[in-house]
Amino acid sequence: MEADNEHRKSKGWCWWVLVFVIGGLVAAAAVLTLLKNFKHFKTSREKSHSGRFVPKYAGALEIAMQFFDVQKSGKLEDNRIWWRGDSGLKDGIEENLDLSKGMYDAGDLVKFGFPMAFTATVLSWAILEYGNQMNAAKQLGHAHHSLKWITDYLINAHPSPSVLYIQVGDPELDHECWQRPEAMTEKRPATQINTSFPGTEVAAETAAAMASASLVFKEINYSYSNLLLMHAQQLFAFADTSKGSYSVSIPQVQKYYNSTGYEDELLWAATWLYHATQDVSYLKYVTEEKGQAFGNWGNPSWFSWDDKHAGIHVLLSRISFFGAKETSFAENIGLQLYRKTAEVIMCGLLPDSPTSTPNRTDSGLIWVVQWSSLQHSIASAFLAVLYSDYMLTSQTEMLYCNGKSYKPEDLRKFAISQADYVLGKNPMKMSYLVGYGSYYPRYVHHRGSSIPADADTGCRDGFKWLESLNPNPNLAIGALVGGPFLNETYIDSRNNSVQGEPSTYNSALVVALLSGLVTTSSVVHPFS
């Protein structure tokens, strides 16, 4: 994580403003009838929608899943990465907390709570939607283990209802060193938010992570699931009652994971809490109470660690597609507005849609910003394959984009085009997923990967490995590097952090995407 805020923060859609027309009450009433009458997924329909297994994506998923093991902090269990060892064992000790687990953010050795919580939320979402496909690819157990590695840390980072530790390590000190995590020598301060120094977006994202993970573990470890849900509800209450951006409360974070607003995280957390509890007060929050003010209805955006709006629109479309219990007319109107916005987003992604976004390369890769350029393409592809499966399962035959109609398979085709680009179908003929295929980046901007496991280096003398002309001695298997420039070139240099630095949150997104493609089509199941 080497960039300043202007490089790292998510950008809005860079295309013309779309006119958003809200349907009349007649259409809304029809939607209300649909929502009341629709029942979840009969077995016969599940069988009819099952697709064939796709070995290519299953193999890529197996590789991508391993980057979480590369990034783990703490005392390692069942370690699959030969060159990784225990690290960060004393993290949190000055606060009398065990913050040793969790994952390092990217190529550095800092635990940033905001993107780490987003990693957990996306990984949970992927498991909830595509756990069957993960299981078919023999990766579901690894996904559960990686998710729990993060949530164990998040539980410990929340020692009381209104206190959350949101960072371990000082990025300024960290960037003055080039060391393996096992040999860290710099100080590891822990940073907290509280009622005096609020951080609504981090507290709410962590609540979303806890709530979504509680659904994942509900049938695996019921007591752990309940513990997660308790933390999620406390964190949401803290986020909602002590409003304030952590970028304002803690100005030093602005250079790294600066937040562009917390309204989306509040909706995101409430949406996941509704799914986890079926408490209609959370649904009312995202529709009647805060939908108009926070929902960004009619305005498409890019899904990322900073901006959750597009994910919210798709996740709430799930309820619109499949129904909700005891919802009011006003709540259903709100759900329809989220779904309408999701449709605008999907229409923008389809390459031949009348409202197609111009934010793509000549080869068709969604491309928005130079830093970590693949983040938006894989996030968009994940949402597209999800929406495709929502349509397929609900027997929604068409998506209409300014008079032109599209089928669910058109969205899946788009998602496949983005995945295939990442895996090597691009002008560089390079796989951007380290370890997949025979040609992939060898000079990944990653401290542990770049330093021999038996090297004895201190803080400063380790930079010789950053400057070395030799390929990385350790394979950061599963790392998704930043990606190509707009002209579709890639410079494989360890000093090229703009293109060559991987991150755990992008790994969660590519794992989610590949999980959705493991079979040619998939059935959406209830979360609970």
Closest CA to 518 of 437, 423, 434, 416: 416
With residue 93 as reference, give the H or E element that holds it. Answer: none
Instruction: Provide CB contacts within 8 A for 256, sequence distance 6+.
Output: 1, 3, 4, 5, 8, 110, 112, 171
With residue 192 as reference, give the H or E element that holds it. Answer: strand 190-193
Sheet containing 190-193, strands listed edge to edge, beginning at the edge strand earlier in sequence: 111-112, 164-168, 190-193
For 10, the token pair is 């998510």
Closest CA to 180 of 444, 456, 476, 482: 456
Place of tokens 């509800």: 233
For 418, the token pair is 């983005």
* C-beta separation of 332 from 283 below 8 A: no
Exactly one of 313, 445, 446, 525 is catalytic; name it: 445
Locate the DSSP E strands across 215-359. Answer: none
**Catalytic residue check, 445:** yes
Q: How many CB atoms lie within 10 A of CB 400?
A: 10
d(CA 43, CA 525): 11
Written as one string, the DSSP assignment of 20-80 is -----HHHHHHHHHHHHH-----HHHHHHH---B-HHHHHHHHHHTTHHHHTB-BS-SS--
Active site residues: 445
